[in-house]
Amino acid sequence: MKLVIADKNYSSWSMRPWVLMKHFGIEFEEILVRLAETDTDAKIRQFSPSGRVPALLDEQGRAVWDSLAIAETLAERHPQFALWPRDAAARGHARSVSAEMHSGFGAVRNHMPMKIRAHLPGQGAVPEALAEVARIDALWSECLAQYGGPFLFGEFTIADAMFAPVVMRFNTYQPAVSDVARGYMGRVTALPAVARWIADAHADPRMIARYEGLAATP
């Protein structure tokens, strides 16, 4: 299989299936499409009908796009791995929190965009974003209490992969969160697959001016 992704410093949606596949040892070829280039859209549309990354290409070149759709596809293709919790009730819960992440938290996305290499404590702390931070904190805390950790549903699952870019955002902007949430963030950050993504982001010096809030270079 092939996984089409964008710049690791910025592409939160790309991070989710990449980390999931790396963690579970699902082999794939990585195809990187650079963001904010004149031919970015054309290159992505070679692989993804939506014009967005990530996209997963199977052995016949058929595409599945959207992070959650890719995660569901991987769970179907690899039932030997507990990508979702094995317990039906826990699985429904995990799907619910993953869908909430997938469709919600727009203020955090807008005011705390993923920039792994940056250190911007306090930035983006507008009321609507902080309200969503509080909801995320409560969600994490409830799952960790109910299932005993160390991850949201015990072992690492799709739900944790969905929230991994949120952890990256919180590492960058450092909003106030509970000790329970802070501990969870540390465990996600230290997970080998996540640590590898972070290392790759730091090893790539490319900076996109508009994503950094900088004036474009003439």
DSSP track, 131-181:
HHHHHHHHHHHHHHHHH-SSBTBBB--HHHHHHHHHHHHHHHH-----HHH
Is it the case that residue 150 has pLDDT exceeding 70? yes
Confidence of residue 215 (pLDDT cuts 50, 70, 90): very low
69, exposed or middle or buried, with CB in 10 Å at 0-12, 13-18, 19+? middle
Which fold would CATH assign to domain 2-78? Answer: Glutaredoxin (3.40.30)
pLDDT one-digit tens code per residue, 52-99: 999 999 999 999 999 999 999 999 999 999 999 999 999 999 999 999
Does residue 64 sit in helix, strand or coil? strand
User: What is the percent of the chain with per-residue pLDDT over 70, rounded to a whole number?
Assistant: 98
Asked if 14 and 8 touch (Cβ cutoff 8 Å), the reply is: yes
Query: If pLDDT is split at 50, 70 and 90, which confidence band does 217 have?
Result: very low
Domain covering 88-198: architecture: Up-down Bundle (1.20)
Q: 192: cis peptide before it, omega within 30°? A: no
What's the pTM? 0.95
Q: Please state, rounded to an integer, the average pLDDT across all residues of the chain.
A: 96
Strands 2-5 and 29-32: parallel
Residue pLDDT, tens place only, 181-193:
999 999 999 999 9
Per-residue pLDDT at 175 exceeds 60 = yes
Say if residue 214's pLDDT is above 70: no
Q: Tell me what the mean pLDDT of segment 9-16 comes to.
A: 97
pLDDT at position 22, please? 98
Domain boundaries of the chain, sorted by first residue: 2-78, 88-198
Q: What is the mean pLDDT of residues 27-36?
A: 97
